[in-house]
């Protein structure tokens, strides 16, 4: 399972993308299962064979996410073999900047301004869920959250990030400015 969150410097957010492990043959979740899910308005659900973001899925996600409305933007991403330079970003005029390996914390302050609070909200949602549900499996282990529970955790946390950004939009803008200047400096110093 993988979650991708995309946020703009103007404090607008894309839908949270959740990737689940799908059927072994097709890579998709069964329609019967999908029909049972309650998917909030701020979440999109995808599925692939492995449940992990890979380069083929990345190309699909880019084509589904970006269009001419995003012309002239920049997509800042952590270094990963899955995030290759994509020709799909050229059409809508989006520049992709890859943060060098092991430098995400230095060059991407959004890790502290967005990712850290989001992970805290996810943990809090899980702990509240766990406090309310103490059921155990036949083997005696605590039951794990369902996909529906996880979707709810992500949706709730992503909504809270919006509230936090609205309280201090200047922090978000400063994070983007810091990210851009740090990345530009690292490429021009060499």
Residues 6 or more apart whose CB falls under 8 angstroms from that of 164 comprise 117
pTM exceeding 0.95: no
Which two tokens mark 47? 């599925």
For residue 31, the model assigns a pLDDT of: 86
For residue 122, the model assigns a pLDDT of: 92
Give the number of domains in the chain. Answer: 1
pLDDT in tens, 76-109: 777 666 666 666 666 667 777 777 777 766 666 5
Taking the CA of residue 177 as centre, how many other CA atoms within 13 Å lie in the half-sphere pointing to its CB? 7
Give how far the C-alpha of residue 118 lies from the chain's centroid of Cα atoms, to the nearest Å.
Answer: 10
Cα–Cα distance for residue pair 154/150, rounded to 1 Å: 6
Between 178 and 159, the more confident residue is 159
Structural domain for 152, as ranges: 2-188
């Amino acid at each position: 399972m993988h979650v991708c969150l995309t946020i703009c410097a103007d404090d607008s957010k894309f839908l949270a993308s959740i990737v689940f492990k799908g059927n072994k043959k097709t890579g998709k979740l069964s329609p019967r299962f999908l029909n049972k899910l309650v998917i909030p308005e701020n979440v999109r659900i995808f599925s692939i064979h492995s449940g992990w973001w890979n380069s083929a899925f990345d190309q699909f996600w880019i084509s589904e996410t970006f269009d001419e409305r995003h012309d002239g933007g920049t997509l800042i991403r952590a270094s990963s073999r899955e995030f290759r330079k994509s020709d799909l970003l050229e059409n809508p005029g989006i520049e992709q900047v890859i943060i060098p390996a092991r430098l995400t914390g230095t060059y991407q302050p959004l890790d502290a301004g967005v990712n850290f609070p989001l992970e805290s909200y996810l943990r809090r949602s899980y702990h509240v869920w766990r406090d309310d549900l103490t059921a155990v499996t036949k083997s005696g282990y605590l039951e794990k959250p369902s996909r529906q529970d996880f979707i709810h955790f992500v949706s709730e946390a992503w909504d809270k990030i919006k509230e936090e950004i609205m309280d201090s939009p200047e922090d978000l803008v400063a994070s983007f400015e810091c990210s851009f200047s740090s990345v530009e400096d690292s490429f021009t110093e060499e």
